[in-house]
Amino acid sequence: MVAGQQSWSTQTVAGSELVPGVLLLRYRRHSGGEDQARATFVASKATKATAGATSAAVKRRRQLERGQMTRPESMAFEMSNKNKELMNDIFTNCKLKNGFGPSVQATAAATSPTKRPLSPDHPNPALPITETPSPAMNRMGWALRTLLVADSSSCLKDRKVSGKLIRKCAPGTELVDWLVNLSPIVHTRAQAAGMWQALLEEGVLAHVNKEQPFKDKCFLYRFRLDEEGGTAAAGVPQAEDLGAANEHIREALSALFQRGPDATLRMILRKPSHERTSEELELVFEELVHIAALSHLSTSIKRELSSIFVFEAHAQAGTILFNQGDEGRSWYILLKGSVDVVIHGKGTVATLKTGDDFGKLALINDAPRAATIVLKENNCHLLRVDKEHFNRILRDVEANTLRLQEHGKDVLVLERVAKQRGQHSAFKYTVMSGTPAKMLEHLLETRLGQSVGGLDPFLDDFLLTHIVFMPVVQLVDELANYFHCDAHEDAQTAEDREYIINFKKRVIQFMQKWVMAVRHAAFEEPSVCDFIEDLAAEVEADPDLNEETSIVHNVLTQMARYQEDRNQNAGQKWKLPPNGQPICLFSGNATPSKTVIRPDDDIIFRVYCADHTYCTLRFPMHTTAELIKACAADKLQLNRGPEDLVLVEVKSNGERSVFKDNDVSIPTGLSLNGRLFVSVKDHLDALTQLQEQECPTEGVDIDLEILSTKELAYHITLFEWDLFWAVHEYELLYHTFGRHHFGKITANLDVFLRRFNEVQYWIVTELVSTPSLSKRVGLVRKFIKLAAYCKEYQNLNAFFAVVMGLSNMAVSRLQQTWEKIPSKFRKIFQEFEALIDPSRNHRAYRVFVGKLQPPLIPFMPLLLKDMTFAHEGNKTSLDGLVNFEKMHMMAQTMRTIRFCRSRSLGLEPPSPKSEGEVRSYISSFRVIDNQRVLTAMSQKVEPTRKL
């Protein structure tokens, strides 16, 4: 074997074809000479076990060294004509500059490039890019050699170099001379050199030491035929062969003439950047202008890229360029051929073609490779930019949007966004839209597994909003499939096992973060509990998952605590008393604090019919309107079919609102003094409100004057904190999208929102039902102080309610009262009004609240408004993909709630006295919520002055 010759091969196992499913890679390294990989790629048919199951997934973690190559049928790098001319000039100039160099040995010693292995990682322009020459090139080479040998004055001679005989070799310069003389179409030495390089890159011709590409210099080259020896190489050609060669040569020369410039360009792109001359860089630059994947880049960036792009050629279909889960090291543009994008458990999801690029996702996000890239055909050509150069030149200018496709359809759309401060690079991709399954895959592949502190925003958004686009059962199913990705794989190598274990760890991490993000909501789903238990059993049984046992135990403990709490509170009952307050929480009953209303808690409530007779019903919270309607109709003996009946709320002002049959948590959803009616559809107009709806509801009778205002604010805040604490972030989603979509109750949110109205109307009711002017003045002062204390306690919900109550038309018109309010109080009140000013999207409040630290109770109606705006202003689905930007917007609002409650409320009681009295007073205010009635009462206490 000639010194420096490589021993390598890349094989595709016969008959193998990439199919979705199992990809088994086997490779071994050849020792001796350069460290070369011999790769055998086996693709065996997938066994998809169950629908949606992760079929024995691809799990090989091997970095195959890229093998080399067989025959390119056509040239990938088709140079523009202009460049072909330029190329000729370059070579002419090179020749002039270089002249005829010293002897082969001397040159080799002086300038011998360090030997590079035959790996596309470090391509060597002296070596062929194909495994064996194509028949066409072989024939061209044969014809040229035949004519050369037949020529008695030929340069092709046996020569002794360093005492060693090298048969039939010739210096590059003489080969160029000969070719220029042979054909009138070859005008320049550069053209001739390019033609010889075209033969060299297919292995028809080679430098004797395999150290040089073709150069118009004194380096010695010889034909492959002469390297191999044998009969074909021996002696003078027969007349018959000579005739055939002569006949073929014209066609051969013209084909070679075409290929020369492209071969030269490929040769330049395989040289290390410091060996590329400025003329060569100019030539590469001119070619980059024609590549679509670079069209968005500026000229200066393309110039920089000219020196760092590397040309890679791969001979064998089935060669793996890199594996899913690998570290991202390069970005690629496909110049020729096609590659399959293969994903564990899915198989081939996309095929990328000439001109497509891939591999920047991992580079930009510093994440593992999201897919395995497998060559689909023989002789693929690629341009490669390695990570360090990519980061330096491209990272910050890369295209803003990245669309990933599977089976011809977009599955994930990512957009480049500025990274948060503290992260080590400036930009990364964030998900804009995607299919639910692909987003989950992206999460598991790229956002978990690294020891990152805190909750990744994408993961958090996903966990907070997935119920909108991926029901819990589906999510659990997908996770179980990922966790059991090894279920159908028998033989596993250590590397396979490592990959599988890593993936299992990610699923466990996901579970942990899920529970962290949504707390008890996760445990409310039986499918989640079953999954956690299965997971725990498997983790216990698997020694490789030892480190994960503590995570799983922690989750199990939380689950047990939840279940215990649930059992203790099983059969929890609520009451909707006839006079105002919908549930016992507000009726002064000794309910334990921080009680969450659960879907299967019972609630006792009345349902009226048109003649104001009623029945009392007891149903779980999650009971549908349809069932309540049927039961009430039966009890009230309406004798009509359910299709003729409706369940309807009649508000205290007589307004009616009909419930959908599939609506749930009906009683808690009523307005303050609203009543539930069952009515014949056609008789809706006959429904009138009850007399009691217009009167102040019953409550604790107390002389407000004697209560300490700070005490009031303190107890209001404690009370509302408990209500706020019980609201789950998901209830905001149910409320915004409509709880009937989810079949989930929003009772805790309903109660909290009612509370806002209750406080607001309590202020108005108290003021308009106080006939004494001096008492009213005292009350207004008290309420302004109350607002100030609520603000101090960071109970913004009550602060808004009190200030809005004082700004209610029935109160603001009380001129005589306001005239007597000291200006100091009026000024404070004006400041408060400025704070609740809704203009510029509640800017004043947002700025104020933005500076507060938790714990705080936010102004809930504004959060709901933000949710509604996000919902109504943005489609949930965009071209069949989940609009994740919308989910992100909603999650931001939901996170606000989490932030507000991230520290527990530890208020100092203003005084130790009157605890019980004030608490029962503030939990059951006397309220009129009919504006007409309130205005009339206001008129009564302070009739409008006649001018």
Shortest distance in whole angstroms from residue 516 CB to ligand CMP = 27
Helix axes 860-873, 729-737, angle to 10 degrees: 50
* Amino acid residing at 33: G
Residue number with CB closer to ligand CMP (448 or 511): 448
Shortest distance in whole angstroms from residue 405 CB to ligand CMP = 6
Shortest distance in whole angstroms from residue 92 CB to ligand CMP = 41
Shortest distance in whole angstroms from residue 331 CB to ligand CMP = 8
Residue 686 Cα distances to 297, 480, 609, 611, 648, angstroms: 71, 55, 10, 9, 12
Residue number with CB closer to ligand CMP (431 or 889): 431
Rounded to 5, what percent of the chain is helix, strand, coil? 50, 15, 35
Residue number with CB closer to ligand CMP (149 or 404): 404
Q: What is the DSSP string of 343-410?
A: ETTTEEEEEE-TT-EE-HHHHHHT-B-SSEEEE-SSSEEEEEEEHHHIIIIITTTS-SEEEEEETTEE
Residue number with CB closer to ligand CMP (369 or 395): 369
The helix or strand, by DSSP H or E, that contains position 910, with its residue range, turns out to be none
Shortest distance in whole angstroms from residue 876 CB to ligand CMP = 22
Which residues bind to ligand CMP, rule: CB under 6 A? Answer: 328, 341, 343, 349-350, 358-362, 369-371, 404-406, 411
Residue number with CB closer to ligand CMP (186 or 333): 333
Burial grade of 63 (CB within 10 A; 0-12, 13-18, 19 or more): middle
Residue number with CB closer to ligand CMP (367 or 801): 367
Shortest distance in whole angstroms from residue 374 CB to ligand CMP = 11
The helix or strand, by DSSP H or E, that contains position 673, with its residue range, turns out to be none
Q: Which residue is nearest to ligand CMP (CB)?
A: 362
Shortest distance in whole angstroms from residue 407 CB to ligand CMP = 9
Tell me 595's DSSP state.
P
Residue number with CB closer to ligand CMP (362 or 670): 362
Please state the φ and ψ torsions of residue 43, each to the nearest 5 degrees: -115, 120
Residue number with CB closer to ligand CMP (85 or 366): 366
Burial grade of 906 (CB within 10 A; 0-12, 13-18, 19 or more): exposed
Task: Determine how many CB atoms are found less than 10 A away from the CB of residue 803.
Answer: 23
Does a cis peptide bond (omega within 30 degrees of 0) precede residue 855? yes
Q: How far is 805 from 717, CA to CA, in rounded Å?
A: 17
Residue number with CB closer to ligand CMP (343 or 887): 343
Shortest distance in whole angstroms from residue 402 CB to ligand CMP = 7
Q: How far is 604 from 671, CA to CA, in rounded Å?
A: 17
Instruction: Select from 640, 634, 684, 682 the least CA-distant residue to 658.
Output: 684
Shortest distance in whole angstroms from residue 37 CB to ligand CMP = 20
Residue 864 Cα distances to 123, 263, 725, 836, 893, angstroms: 60, 65, 16, 16, 8
SS3 878: strand
Residue number with CB closer to ligand CMP (295 or 812): 295
Shortest distance in whole angstroms from residue 187 CB to ligand CMP = 44
Residue number with CB closer to ligand CMP (385 or 889): 385
Shortest distance in whole angstroms from residue 733 CB to ligand CMP = 28
What is the distance in angstroms between the CA of the first residue and the CA of the last residue of the chain? 118
Shortest distance in whole angstroms from residue 47 CB to ligand CMP = 22
Shortest distance in whole angstroms from residue 742 CB to ligand CMP = 30
Residue number with CB closer to ligand CMP (247 or 388): 388
**Structure tokens given for 759:** 């406080």
Residue number with CB closer to ligand CMP (137 or 371): 371
300 Cβ partners below 8 Å, 6+ apart?
none
466 Cβ partners below 8 Å, 6+ apart?
436, 472, 475
Residue number with CB closer to ligand CMP (350 or 814): 350
Shortest distance in whole angstroms from residue 349 CB to ligand CMP = 5
**Structure tokens given for 496:** 């396979």
Q: How far is 755 from 867, CA to CA, in rounded Å?
A: 20
Q: Which residues pair with 649 in a beta bridge?
A: 657, 676
**Structure tokens given for 650:** 């009649």
Q: How far is 791 from 806, CA to CA, in rounded Å?
A: 15
Residue number with CB closer to ligand CMP (526 or 880): 880
Q: What is the DSSP string of 257-310?
A: HHHHHHHHHHHHHTS-GGG--HHHHHHHHHHHTT-GGGTTS-HHHHHHHHHH-E
Shortest distance in whole angstroms from residue 365 CB to ligand CMP = 8
Strands (E), 531-612: 573-575, 602-608
